[in-house]
Each structure stands twice: as C-alpha cells, then as structure tokens.
Structure 1
Amino acid sequence: MVLPETPRSKHSSILVSRKGLPALFFTSAKTLSSSSSFASSPTPSSPIPFSPVHRLPASAVEENIANAEAIITKWDPNSSSLTKVIHLFHYNHRNEAKEFLQRVNDLRRAMHFLISEHSTSDKLVLAQNLMRMAMSRLEKEFYQILSATHDRLDPESVSGKYSDSSSTYDAEENDIASEEESSKISGKSISDVEKASALAMSDLKAIADCMVSSGYGKECVKIYKLIRKSIVDEALYLLGVEQYKCAQIQKLSCEALEHMIKKWINAMKTAVKTLFNGEKTLCDHVFSASQRIRQSCFSDITKDGAINLVKFPELLAKRKTLPEKIFPLLEVYEVLSYLWPEIDLIFNSESSSAIKMQALTSLQRLGESVCTILSDFESTIQKDSTKAPIEGGGVHPLTQTVMNYISSLADYSGILSEIVAESPPKAGSTQLPESYFESPTSDDSLAPAVSTRLAWLILVLLCKLDIKAEVYKDRSLFYLFMANNLQFVIEKVCTSRLRLLLGEDWVFKHATKVIQYASNYETIAWGNVFSSLPEKIPPELSPEAAKDYLKGFNTSFEEAYNRQRSCIVQDEKLRDELKTSIGMNLIPAYRELYQRCLEMFGRDKKLRLLLKFSPEDLGNYLSDLFHGTGASDRSLVTSLRGQMPR
C-alpha cells in the first residue's frame, strides 16, 4: 500500500492551534527540497570500519551475500517496483525492516572477510554495489522518518527508556511492546502519539547505527542536522527570539526593551528546559553508538540559537542604564543563574563549550553592570545638592526615593548577594567614618554580602541627611527632621525584606536614635515652657509669685505653640509618642498650678484673666500639633487673648 506524504506546512499550522507552543519545539516548516534525490548511489564518507575477521566457510559468505541481495534489491530506491514509493520502516513492514538491517550487517561481515582473504573476488564487487544500494535506501528511510514524525518526536517523554547506548533495535521494540502490555494490565493505555514517537526513535537509532558502522555516518548526520536544526530554529522563532544585536538594543526605548526582556526570559526558560534538553536526549539516543558524532551533531544543531540566546544579557549589560533600570538586569541575571546548572549539563562537551563560556561571560558582564549602577547610585546620594529646608522638618524626598529603591533591591537579595560578594564597598572610600562601616547581623544570616552593601547605602543616606539638617536655623527642627527621616527609614526596613537582611539589632540601634532625636527636639522646642512652671509649688504661694508663674507660662506656651504648630511628624506612632511625652511633662505640673491659682484668685476677674488656659485646653492644643500649618486654625495670639478660663 502506498502511503501518501502528509503536507508538512499544513500539518504544522494545525499543530499550533491544537497543541500550542510546546509541540512546536519538534516541528519544522522547513524541510529538504522535494527534488532532493536519493537515486544516485552514495559514496561512503569513510572506508568500511575494519573488524576482526572470523574465518567463514566460502559457502557462508556466498549465502550472506545472496540473502542480502534478495532483500536489498527488492527495496532498491531506484527500482521500478512498488517498493520505490513505499517505506520499508512502515508498520506493515517492520519484520522486513529488521531483516533488512540484519542482512546489511551480514553483508558487512562478508565484505570484511573478502577484503582480507579475496580482495579481487567478483563477490566483493557485488557486495560493494549492494552496500551502496542499501545505504541509499536507509538514507531515504532516515530522511522520511525525520520528516514525517517531526511533530511527534518528543524526546523528553521517552528519554528515560532510550538513554542506554547498548540497547538494540529488537530490544527497544520489545520494550515498547512490553510496556504496552503492562499498561493494558494496569488500565493505563499508551497513546498512539507516544507509541509512534518511541518507534520513530527506535527506527532512527537502528538506521544510524547501521549507516555509521558501514562507513556512511557522514550522509546520515548531514540529513539529521539539516532537519533538526530547522526545527530548533523555527521553535526559537516562534518563541519570539530575535537575532540580538548590540546597536539595536542600544537604540530601543525603555518600554520596548522591557518587552524584549520579558520575551527573552520566557524563551530562555523554555529553550533550556524543553528545547535544548529534549534535542540532546534525541541526539544522544539516535547516535548512541558514537560519542563524537552525537556531541558534534548536537552542537551544530543548537549552537547558533543557544549562543544568540545566552549572548543577549551581555549586550544588555553594555546599555547605559539609570539606577531604576537595575531591576530588569537583576531579573535577567536571576534567570541565567538559575538555568546555569542545566546549561552546564546540557552543553557538557568540548564541541559545545563555547555556549557555556558565553553564558558565564554574560553573567559576569551583568554582575559588573549591576555593581556599577549601585556605585553610581551611592554617588548620586552623596552629590544631591538640594538645600531648601523641608517644611516643618518633615521627610525629605531624597529619603523616600532612596529607601523605596533600597527596599526594592532587598527583594533581589539572593541574586544581589552573588553579585556583590566579590566587590564589597570599601571603608573610607566615601569619606565616611570607618567606625560606621559595620556588617549588620541578621538572625537568619541571609545574604551577608548584600546585607552589608544595603546597610552601607542607608548609612550614606543618613550621613547626607545630617548635612541637610544643618539648614535649619531652629535647632529643634534639626532634631525633628532627623527623627522624622530616620523613623521613615526604620519603617521601610521593618515593612520589607530589609528587616531580615539587616537584623533586629540594626532596627533597635536606630530606633534608639529616633528616641534620642525626639527627646532633643522636645527639650529645645518646649524646654522654656517646662521651665516656666515651678518644679514644686511652695505651700505658701504668694499672689505675686503666682502671677509671675502664669505670665511666664502663658508667654512661653504661646511662643512655643505658634512656632511648633507648623511642624510635621509623618509617622503616626512617633507623632502620638511626642504628643504624649510633651503632655506628660506639661499638663500635670500646670494642672497643680492652675488649681492653686484658681482658689487663690477667687472672684477677682482681673487676676483670673491670667488663667488663659485650662489643663483641658492644653491637651486640645497639643492634639493639633505635628500635622502642619494647615491642620488647625487655632492661633493663641488671636483667639485666646482676653478669653476667660472655663
């Protein structure tokens, strides 16, 4: 029966819609030209391999040649018979295919004997012609199997069964039949696609073994490379892989580059884990008889595509990048680093070593680029030249920008630790006190190298904030500014992965500094108010002394409140703690004075005018603090002057 060829391009398009992208890793729209002829008798690429000659009776030699002649001439691809257009390795002729291969092997042994014993025999000439005819048939069969089953050759599904180089054609078919029988017993059926894939791999290996051992390996490999390389190239194209060029990447917009990086990441993962890995499995199985052939063959098929893929990160690293563009680089580095063990395993031969070297070079260049960006970022912090004071001693934009950036870097701590381990910051290189340069301790000891580097960047920021705080003429705002900004830093650390990297000791140490800054602010901003009240009211308080205390308190409180009402404390917890602390130092002492004066003044309206504030008033006014100027319309000078106490 003549089996019609399935149109490959049509079949490929159907496969895309039905199975999706993964099936295409072993599908190719490119095939050898249909005009390719197998009619001409191929010339062996190397002499028939010599093997030890076993003494054979003349009758046995003649019998081997005669048996081989019968089946080889039957399947002569140049004959006019039906066998010219049908396939020897079709399932209807599997027994005959086995016999064909066996007779070719017998013929080869007979040729070895004749070359050694009867090199001028006419039988040797006949045997040589038969061998060329057999190789022509096997070459055609090899091509046909590769072309017709390219969509079903999924090496990953059968790699476990066909990795043994010592397996034979009969043994492989028996294994398939045995598994099919076992599957029926267990109630699990082998799909037709899996069975066809397994048989195709078995047939390809059997033909390759026969052709290589007969000295026709070059012809076999040429066909295999041509078809399988076109499949690999097409698969990469369908994954969106381009021919990456440095000039092109340099000119891309940020949005276009991000899109290209996303496509590269997806393509890289799929190519390494599925495409290249599966192709190696298939190549190792088909050419298991020759390590040299399978290594060079696999390398030639995948080298162009693999080199192009793993070179992309190196080209990306050459692009001038702003600090915020470090994250795509880290993502690319992370993917390449993650896939490196598999790259090292798949491309483990000398012929494919260039791929591994390029992958390592790309990792190195990416790492250097990341370190350069971090150094530039540190320099940017130090060179920030904004001098305008932040209203109310609030959080500086530089603090927000830097801490948002550093907390995002912490999400890549594992990869960053690998990168910066070889290039830690040097104490003194930034003119900071050497005593500040300490490696933070982390409870989990996560990524110590990156912990040190990120702690250093935060220290650079804090030192810069010390300088920026000097613009405040009011010393109380200096300390409030430092408290606000350090509290923001701590909050960012505690709500991100930075807490694990820097450790609880770091948090405690800097939280203590916030408390000290807040205390210094309170002392300077409210010290006059506190000191205007007696530490202890004497039992015999005179009216004159009472009036002096009240006048001093009223003046100092009005001045302090009107100055501090424009202050801002962004962190709610710090704001409440400051209000509570001021209130505890102020209200109890004032309440005692207020009660004594209220009793002493009695109904004297003139004296009672000195009692401008009740203790409750103080609490209300303090509650309005640290929200900024627009938070309250209260003005002690305009709204309280002349107001009677409650």
Structure 2
Amino acid sequence: MAEQGEEKLIEVARHIARTLGRTDTMADDILQIFSNFDGRFSREKLAAERRSDGSSSDEHPPPSDSSIDRRVRSLDRQISRFLNSDRSIWSDSTDAADFLVAVDALVACVRGVDQLAPGDRPVADSTDDLLHQCMLRMEDEFRSLIENPYGASPYDPRPGFYSDGEDSDGDEDLIPVAPPLTDYDFIIDALPSGSVADLHEIAKRMVGAGFGRECAHAYGLARRDFLEESVSRLGIRHRDAAGAGGDEVQTAPWPALEDEICRWVKAVNVAFRILFPSERRLCLRVFSGLSAIADLSFAEACRGPALQLLRFAEAIASGSRSPERLFRVVDMYETLRDVIPELDGLFSDQYSAFLSAEAVTVREKLGKAIRGIFTELENLIRRDPAKAAVPGGGLHPITRYVMNYLRAACSSRETLEEVMDEDGVGTAASLGRPSSPLASQIAWILEVLQGNLESKAKIYREPALCCIFLMNNGRYMMQKVRDSSDLAILIGEEWMRRQAARERQWAAEYQKITWSKVTAVLRIDGGPPPPTPPAMCERLKVFDVYLEETCRARAAWIITDDSLRAELRAASSAIVLPAYRRFLAVYREKNVRHSPQEVEARISELFEGSRKP
C-alpha cells in the first residue's frame, strides 16, 4: 500500500509540473525544485516517459536553441550557489552529489549547443563560460581533497615509515630523518578510500568535459608537494635543478656531502621502491579507466622529486675525483644499479619513461667517475714528493695509504669489475692468471707505487739503508695482498712471485754491502804459511771495530715486519758467525773481546729502531 501511495504522489507531482508550468522557464524551475527532492522528477525523465507513452516526436520536438538557453540559465542559477560558496562543496556529501548532477546536465547542454547553428554564439559563449567556471571550481575542490583528505589544513603527510624524532623547538633547519628500512615491499595509502572515490568522480567529469590536462596538472602539483615533503623527511635538503647540479654541491665540503650521500642512498630506495610505486597505484585508482590522464598525472607528480634525487647524484659524479670519494660514489652507483630494473616497469609510459633513461645515464656517469678516481689515485702516487727520508728506512705513508685503500676498495670487487669492464667483454687471461680491467688497473697502480718508492729510496745516502727501505715497503705490500682474498685474486700469484724476487734481491744487496767488509777481515787463505798470531790479533781487532761500527750505525734502522726482521738477522748470522768461528779456530786465542755467542747477540739486536729503549 505504501508503495502504491508513493507512486500516486509522484504522478501528481509530475502532473503539477506539466500543468502549472505555463512557460518552459517556469516548468524548468518547478522541475528543478522537484528534482532536488527526487531524481525521478527531472525533465529528461519526464521526456523519456512521454516517449514511452507513445507521444510523437512532432508533438514534442527536440529542444530548440531557446530551450537550451533557458536550460542553461536554469543551471546557472543552480550552479551559482555552489560556485559562490566559500565552503568546500565536498564538505557535504549531498552538495557534492547535487553539484555533480548539475555539472552532468551542463555537459549535456554543451553537447546540445554544439548542434546549434554556428551563428548562435551567445548561447554557446554563456554555456562555455559556465562550464569553465565549474571546471575551475572542480579543480580547486580536486586539489583540496588531495591536500586535505581529512579536513586538516595544512596537510601534514605522515606515512608509516616516518619518525620525527625529538622536538626541534621550531628549528626549521633540523630535518627529521626516517629510521633505516630493510623491507621495501609495501605500499603507502596516502589518501583514504572515500577521498579517492570523490577524486575519481571529479576526474571523470573534468576529463569528460575536455579538461583532462588541467586535472592532471592539479593532481601533479598537489602530489608533488607531498612527495617532496616525503623526500625531505628522509634527510634530503631540497635544491632546485641548478643548485643540485651546480656550484652548491661542487663547493660543499666533502664531510657534509658524505653525510648527505648516506641519506641519499636511503632516500632513493624509499622513493623508487615505495613512494613512487605507491603514487602509481594511487593514480590508477583516482583515474581508473582514464589511463592516459593517469600516466600524465603520475609523471607530473613524480618528475620533480625524482629529478631532484638524480641531479644530486649527477652533481657528485661531475665533481672532484679525489680518491677519498670512491667509496661513497660506489654506494651511489650500486644503489641506482639495483633500483633501475624496477624503474622499467614503474616509468613505462610516454610521459615518465625519460626518468628511467635518466637514471641509467646518471649511473653511467657515476661509473665514469669511479674510473676517474682510480686514474686520480695513480696521479696522486706519481705526484707524491720525496720530501724527506723516512727515519730508519721504515714504512712510507704513501705505501700504507695506497695498500689499505686498495684493500678497502676490493671489498666492492664485483661492482668495480662491472664498472671497469666498460664494454662488458672482460680481458683475456694473461700470465697464467685470471685477468680483468680491474686487475690490470690495480696491478698498474702497484707498479706506479713501486716506482715511486724506488725514487724515494734514493734519498738515503747509505745504500744498505736504501735496501732496508725497499724491503720494508715491499713486504708490507705483499702482506696486504695476502691478507685480502679479493686483492689476492685480482693481483694473482705472478705478481707475488715477482715481488718476492725483488725482496730477495734487496736482501742480498743489503747483506753484501753490510757484511762484506767484516767477513773480508776474517778470511783465511788455505795455503801456508798461516797468518802469524800478531797478524791474526790485529785482524781480530779490526773485526771488533767493524762489528761495533756496523751495529752502532744500524741501531736506528728498523724492520717493521717481524718475520722479515727475523729472516734478515738469521741471514746476517749465517754470513758472519761461520767465518768468525773458523777464524777463532785457527787463532786459538781464548781471550777474545767477542765470543761467537756475543756476536750473535749483537746481530740479534739489529733492526729494532726507536722501539729499542
């Protein structure tokens, strides 16, 4: 019974609308009042019912230009109350629905205007103007829904992985940095589902009315602010395109840039693995069924933040080739290399594909920078001056620096192999060991270092001390290669054999220079007559003087490697003691200044340098 009563009421209302509307304008107004109450009272519904009732088209002809004009004026009155309101239309769901219905009707009028005679411009102009005002308001509403989805103003983006840390007491220079992430496999829902649905309805109307690019631009501006704020919260200070690639980065002190690079590595992973994929998902939801506009909106939102990150890396790649920068540049190279495969799917449309290509280009520039750093290391070794001799023939700082540098660098051996093998073809095996561009580069650096050390050895006036210096530094080089499996693989056994041969040569030269004069005094000719006791006594005195002079002169000399020190002492004893014992056996004098044990003890005190009290 209730349903039958409602139908009768509706029929009466329709009859009132048809009979009391003495003019089309009055009928439109009455219908508008009823349609606000119930959508079944719209003029289009009544016209459809009249057609279904069998009314002829001649009796009800299609709307004329005057009827469209009246319809537009009616819509203008209805829409104006929304356009003139200072309150957000979407703050009230009923207002939002009514506004969308009115916009739909206006779009339908626009299509009707397109069928009018070309000379009827007043109707067309008024319709276009009203539509344009609607689109401007919808654009504002669209942007407001994105920026203030919860009704807060201004919007404070708070994705789940952010941590503001301690209160900064209003200091805007303090950047809240997010904690480390190990799992990037999740999506951020930056907007509530209700806001996404409202945005979708607005987007459909704007695209349908031919304002798709304006809608995409509004989306891009609003979401770009969110993404830039998100990147900032990851510890990356915003720079414009010129600043990120220009003097600001180039002239910044390296410690400050080093800290920023550490944050950059984290920011790139979060941005390209979480933020931008989440943004792509949001675009697909807001612009569902509008793929071209979704792609354009995504590109507009992500272009700025993505380029900001890439331009910073590009500025670092274009900067100084100082060897100290290698390890952070390698971190940047590895970070981009690892995210690039995911970018091919993320930035796959016509509007954002250039971002994927740009990431590849920046990675290549970082690789070039790494190769340049190794070249600069070589130049640094060549330029290192021989200012003063290292006391006691000890380890030179350049040797320690270069070997520890190479050892640390080889912890990223696979990445450096990839970077050095620019053509991706490698190098054929040579000298019976695996070879590669990286291996060749490091081997060459070691050769340059060895040449530099040999030049520095010439500073020493005593040839024996020159040999000590070369042995100290050569042994250190070999030991560092042995201690690093990666460095040992790259250098190979052939280099170790050559270096060991050099060391034996230096040791033999040292023994010859040091002990030849001493042992010459102890030489006993095999043929008669044997030396007379006075002559032997005199030679023994000369031996004692030479031994004392040799030990005293070498008191400040040092062998830094324990095993090398023991080897040189043993070799010296093996040269001196047998000759001394033979001499004493012939001399047969018990009252000598130095017993063989005492000579051996003196030799065992050699090469302690400043460590001896």
TM-score by length of 1: 0.61
Q: 1:459 to 1:219 in 2, by over 3 A?
A: closer
Equivalent residue for 1:19? Answer: none
Query: Is 1:619 matched up with 2:586?
Result: no
For residues 304-359 of structure 1, give each alpha carbon's deviation from its aligned partner in whole angstroms, at most 9, with x where no partner exists. 22222211222234434544344443333333333333344322223224433433
Give distance in 2, aligned partners of 1:347 and 1:156: 24
Equivalent residue for 1:300? Answer: 300
Equivalent residue for 1:59? Answer: 52
Give distance in 1, aligned partners of 2:229 and 2:450: 54
Equivalent residue for 1:521? Answer: 510
Give distance in 2, aligned partners of 1:195 and 1:341: 25
Matches of residues 73-152 of structure 1 in structure 2 within 5 Å? Answer: 145-149=145-149
Query: Is 1:380 matched up with 2:380?
Result: yes
Give distance in 2, aligned partners of 1:492 and 1:468: 21
For residues 233-285 of structure 1, give each alpha carbon's deviation from its aligned partner in whole angstroms, at most 9, with x where no partner exists. 33234343322511222332334433443443343333222222221222133
Q: 1:376 to 1:58 in 2, by over 3 A?
A: same
Give distance in 1, aligned partners of 2:284 and 2:503: 65
Percent identical across equivalent pairs? Answer: 28
- TM-superposed CA distance for 1:521, in Å, is 1.9
Stretches of structure 2 lacking an aligned partner (at least 5 in a row)? 1-47, 61-70, 116-123, 162-187
Aligned length: 499
Q: 1:536 to 1:229 in 2, by over 3 A?
A: same
Equivalent residue for 1:275? Answer: 275
Give distance in 1, aligned partners of 2:266 and 2:489: 30
- TM-superposed CA distance for 1:136, in Å, is 9.8
Give distance in 1, aligned partners of 2:594 and 2:456: 37
Give the letter for the 1:574 counterpart.
L
Equivalent residue for 1:183? Answer: none
Out of 487, 492, 498, the position equivalent to 1:498 is 487
Query: Is 1:482 matched up with 2:482?
Result: no
Q: 1:251 to 1:202 in 2, by over 3 A?
A: same
Equivalent residue for 1:573? Answer: 563
Q: 1:548 to 1:438 in 2, by over 3 A?
A: farther
Out of 231, 235, 239, the position equivalent to 2:230 is 235
Query: Is 1:226 matched up with 2:217?
Result: no
Matches of residues 383-394 of structure 1 in structure 2 within 5 Å? Answer: 383-386=383-386, 388-394=388-394
Look up the SS of the partner of 1:350 in the other structure: coil
Equivalent residue for 2:544? Answer: 554
Give distance in 2, aligned partners of 1:56 and 1:590: 132
Q: Which has the higher contact order (CA 8 A, sep 6+)?
A: 1
Give distance in 2, aligned partners of 1:78 and 1:614: 120
Equivalent residue for 2:16? Answer: none
Look up the SS of the partner of 2:319 in the other structure: coil
Equivalent residue for 1:469? Answer: 457
Give the letter for the 2:287 counterpart.
F
Give distance in 1, aligned partners of 2:140 and 2:387: 81
Give the letter for the 2:455 counterpart.
I
For the aligned residues, what is the CA RMSD? Answer: 5.3
Q: 1:241 to 1:413 in 2, by over 3 A?
A: farther
Give distance in 2, aligned partners of 1:221 and 1:102: 22
Give distance in 1, aligned partners of 2:574 and 2:237: 68
Give distance in 1, aligned partners of 2:419 and 2:433: 20
Give distance in 2, aligned partners of 1:152 and 1:304: 19
Equivalent residue for 1:564? Answer: 554
- TM-superposed CA distance for 1:411, in Å, is 3.6
Give distance in 2, aligned partners of 1:136 and 1:252: 44
- TM-superposed CA distance for 1:570, in Å, is 1.1
Give the letter for the 1:407 counterpart.
R
Equivalent residue for 2:330? Answer: 330
Out of 423, 437, 453, the position equivalent to 1:449 is 437
- TM-superposed CA distance for 1:469, in Å, is 2.7
For residues 581-605 of structure 1, give each alpha carbon's deviation from its aligned partner in whole angstroms, at most 9, with x where no partner exists. 32344445645665x47xx85xxxx
**Counterpart contact for 2:224–2:304, Cα < 8 Å:** no
Give distance in 2, aligned partners of 1:409 and 1:573: 27
Equivalent residue for 1:65? Answer: none
**Counterpart contact for 1:241–1:309, Cα < 8 Å:** no
Q: 1:195 to 1:486 in 2, by over 3 A?
A: closer
Give the letter for the 1:313 counterpart.
A
Give distance in 2, aligned partners of 1:511 and 1:346: 55
Give distance in 2, aligned partners of 1:507 and 1:56: 99
Q: 1:542 to 1:352 in 2, by over 3 A?
A: same
Give distance in 2, aligned partners of 1:141 and 1:324: 52
Give the letter for the 1:421 counterpart.
D
Give distance in 2, aligned partners of 1:145 and 1:206: 12
Look up the SS of the partner of 1:503 in the other structure: helix
Equivalent residue for 2:612? Answer: 631
**Counterpart contact for 1:265–1:335, Cα < 8 Å:** yes
**Counterpart contact for 1:77–1:136, Cα < 8 Å:** no
